[in-house]
Amino acid sequence: MNSLKPLTSATPQDTLQRLGETRIRRSWERCQAIGTVLQIDPDPMSAADLQTRREQHANVLQLAQPEIETLASLVASAQSVVLLADASGVILQEAGSTEFLRKAEKVALQPGVSWAESLRGTNAIGTALFDAAPVRVHGSEHFMECNRILSCHAAPILSPRGEVIGVLDISSEATTLHAYAMGLAKICASQIGNRVLDHTDTRLHRVVFQRHASLLDSVERAILLLEEDRIVGANDTALRLLDSDWSLLDTSVHDWLDNWKQLDETPRTLHTRGGTMLYGTLRPGRAPRNAYSVPLVPSKVTVPDRQATRHNTVLKPALPPLADDLKSDMQKAVTAVNAGMAVLLQGETGAGKEIFARHLHGHSQWHQGPFVAINCGALPESLIESELFGYEAGAFTGARREGSRGRLREAHNGVLFLDEIGDMPLLLQTRLLRALQEREVQPLGSDKRIPVEFGLISATNHDLMAMVENGSFRADLYYRLQDFDVHLPPLRERPGMDKYLCQEFQRLGGAERAMILTDTALQELAGYHWPGNYRQLHSVLRRLVHLHAAGSAIKAADLPPEIRTHVGTVAAGPIPPACPATTLRGISDQTIERAIAESPNNISHAARSLGVHRSTLYRYLRRQAATPLSSGIAPKPVP
Ligand SMILES: Nc1ncnc2c1ncn2[C@@H]1O[C@H](COP(=O)(O)OP(=O)(O)OP(=O)(O)O)[C@@H](O)[C@H]1O
């Protein structure tokens, strides 16, 4: 273990000056006072010692696992790691990108090493612990030169009495600055603190409150722990809403909240001492205790299924439920979008990207705002710009007299869903990128810039990376859109297809018309590769239900030709890998031609019967324009 030599010219006075009056500057000043004791190359403690320390902190470690796991999978692809350190700065656990973990070890950012500020100089873990506040320490802001390869974001985890009981850190290389990492670290540290509160002595009463009833089960909820009417624990949000600090501990709750006694488990209004109206619930404790001094003993560590609870209250009943294997992706995507990250959904046509986006909106902090969906593939190029950004009155010929707000502004305080983003023309990609980066919209014909705030979700069935490589999609927009990406698996990979098919057949009218699917029909349906996914499945099942007599048993011979002609192919070999860019793949030209012929002048209807999106069919027709279909039906111009 070496000690740090006096700081060299790499950390001169001008760096200190540049830091200004910040937390970092104050930390540097502290470090300069103790410079020679700093450890430049510390050895980690022995495995046995680390194990003992982990056992001492078993409760916090156990309660933090859901956040650590979620964060690890969120940040691993961004070459980042998540670390949990105890209150003395010793790293207890690491997770995330294995590649970066190896690099981090070179500067001892690893379990068993203390990153206390007094040992490692200004760094996120140590400085967050010293100040008991979140902090980002990026590259050259680290006091010790060897640590300047790092960019770190740390937030303290507080006990119900306001003591720091640990620190959560997200670190990556200093060459990449992740704008969302600080937000994520803060949210997750609060969530862990809340879980500690939830699991502290179940004999205490719990008052939970917020400005809006819908936030009562969110990470933003304020919590007070009461013994009789004495406040024995709280979280940061409670202090903020009550305009107080930790001196509120051991005072009477009567001093802070009127009518709290009338609360029960149903949200009701209550008022702060200053008259602010809040919504609150009261979960009574099992019995009063004499003192709050017991160690934190989790009664049982479970991850509360908040998503499910909120799903019932927030989402419209018309939304189909997600397949079980998507629930953990949903949970991560909610954390991501709430932290300001852009979510990109990729998957074949009809795989449920929009449905996923709507669920995500319903579960996110934006759920009370609008869900504004824009189909970038269906909008004519000449209209996209005015549709997205709006326009001033009389901005162009044909414009509405009163002007238009544009879809980006309509999404303010809600979610903007950019569907088929891969079809956005290159020129507009530049304007969109600017609006997304600056979070400002400039309507056509106006020199005003209007600030907008929304959660951003995009979807595509193209291989966007390939488009970036061949120059048809801007790399910078691609990276702006995919802070977190979710791959929606195709329907054919859904577990338990037989059961699901029967259930959907019954739901879509089979039960009402007393119909059944025979085993052979079911087998063929389950073996089909469903290029149009849920959309195609529903179209096929509806046709089966309504084109056959009530009471009939559907046989394999009754299945539509596109399924029958594929039976041999599917049985003969493995299903070809998904090819998202060619979404009508697997449907023969003749079938497409027939669908169009059966729905003259109605492309939407033809698309529905093929189980693809209208814009997909338009794209197909454009491609075929040079060699018109034999049916002679010329495609109408795209609206
Ligand atoms: N999990 C699901 N369960 C039942 N139906 C679903 C599910 N997911 C999607 N659907 C249905 O499938 C149809 C297509 O879904 P959605 O529009 O979300 O797909 P998409 O991936 O966005 O398609 P596209 O790329 O063509 O726009 C919708 O009618 C939707 O209700």
Rounded average pLDDT over 309-314? 26
Tens of pLDDT, residue by residue over 6-50, are 333 444 466 666 666 688 999 998 888 776 667 777 888 888 888
Work out the mean pLDDT of the chain and round it to a whole number: 80
Which pair of structure tokens corresponds to residue 272? 């702060």
**Ligand 1 atom at minimal distance to the Cα of residue 461:** 25
CB burial class (10 A; 0-12, 13-18, 19+) of residue 559? Answer: buried
Give nearest CA residue, ligand 1 atom 16. Answer: 352
Tens of pLDDT, residue by residue over 46-62, are 888 888 788 778 888 98
Please report which confidence band the pLDDT of residue 291 belongs to, taking 50, 70 and 90 as the band edges.
Answer: very low
**Ligand 1 atom at minimal distance to the Cα of residue 356:** 18
- Name every protein residue with a CB atom under 6 angstroms from any ligand 1 atom: 320, 322-323, 347, 349-355, 419, 459, 461, 534-535, 613
Give nearest CA residue, ligand 1 atom 15. Answer: 352
| 354 C-alpha to ligand 1 centroid (Å) | 6
| 138 C-alpha to ligand 1 centroid (Å) | 42
Give nearest CA residue, ligand 1 atom 17. Answer: 354
DSSP symbols for 462-502: S-HHHHHHTTSS-HHHHHHH-SEEEE---GGG-S-HHHHHH
The better pLDDT of the pair 626, 624 is held by: 624
Inter-residue contact 92 to 57 (CB < 8 Å): yes
Stated pTM of the model: 0.49
Tens of pLDDT, residue by residue over 531-584, are 999 999 998 999 898 888 887 889 899 999 888 865 444 333 333 322 222 356
| 350 C-alpha to ligand 1 centroid (Å) | 5
DSSP letter assigned to residue 114: B
| 569 C-alpha to ligand 1 centroid (Å) | 26
What integer pLDDT is reported at residue 631 of this predicted model?
35
Please report which confidence band the pLDDT of residue 622 belongs to, taking 50, 70 and 90 as the band edges.
Answer: low
Which pair of structure tokens corresponds to residue 305? 């299924």
Rounded average pLDDT over 63-80? 88
What integer pLDDT is reported at residue 210 of this predicted model?
94
Q: Which of 315, 327, 348, 354 to mutate to test the pocket of ligand 1 (most atoms within 8 A of CB)?
A: 354
For 13-197, CATH number out of 3.40.50.460, 3.30.450.40, 3.20.20.70, 3.90.1150.140 equals: 3.30.450.40
> Residue 433 is which amino acid?
L
Is the pLDDT assigned to residue 312 strictly greater than 50?
no
Q: Which of 375, 534, 537 to mutate to test the pocket of ligand 1 (most atoms within 8 A of CB)?
A: 534
DSSP symbols for 202-265: TTSEEEEEESSGGGTTSTT-EEEEEETTEEEEE-HHHHHHTT--GGGTTSBGGGTBTTGGG--S
Tens of pLDDT, residue by residue over 223-235, are 999 988 899 999 9
CB burial class (10 A; 0-12, 13-18, 19+) of residue 14? Answer: exposed
Inter-residue contact 322 to 356 (CB < 8 Å): yes
Inter-residue contact 287 to 275 (CB < 8 Å): no
What integer pLDDT is reported at residue 1 of this predicted model?
35
In angstroms, rounded to a whole number, what is the distance separating the alpha carbons of residues 190 and 104?
25
Q: If you search the block for the tokens 């009389």, which residue do you land on?
A: 394
ipTM of the complex: 0.98
Please report which confidence band the pLDDT of residue 599 belongs to, taking 50, 70 and 90 as the band edges.
Answer: low
Domain boundaries in the chain?
A: 13-197, 202-283, 330-393+402-487, 492-624
Segment among 283-297, 326-340, 375-389, 485-499 with least mean pLDDT? 283-297
DSSP letter assigned to residue 412: T
Q: Which of 535, 608, 617 to mutate to test the pocket of ligand 1 (most atoms within 8 A of CB)?
A: 535
Tens of pLDDT, residue by residue over 145-160, are 999 999 999 999 998 9
Rg (CA), the chain: 29
What integer pLDDT is reported at residue 621 of this predicted model?
72
What integer pLDDT is reported at residue 102 of this predicted model?
87
Inter-residue contact 1 to 39 (CB < 8 Å): yes
Tens of pLDDT, residue by residue over 77-114, are 788 899 999 988 999 999 988 888 888 888 999 999 99
Rounded average pLDDT over 273-283? 90
Q: CB neighbours (10 Å) of residue 356?
A: 22
Rounded average pLDDT over 391-418? 78
Rounded average pLDDT over 193-201? 87
Helix H or strand E segment including 371: strand 371-375
Tens of pLDDT, residue by residue over 512-537, are 777 888 888 999 999 999 999 999 99
CATH of domain 330-393+402-487: 3.40.50.300
In angstroms, rounded to a whole number, what is the distance separating the alpha carbons of residues 465 and 209?
45
**Ligand 1 atom at minimal distance to the Cα of residue 358:** 18
| 372 C-alpha to ligand 1 centroid (Å) | 17
CATH of domain 492-624: 1.10.8.60
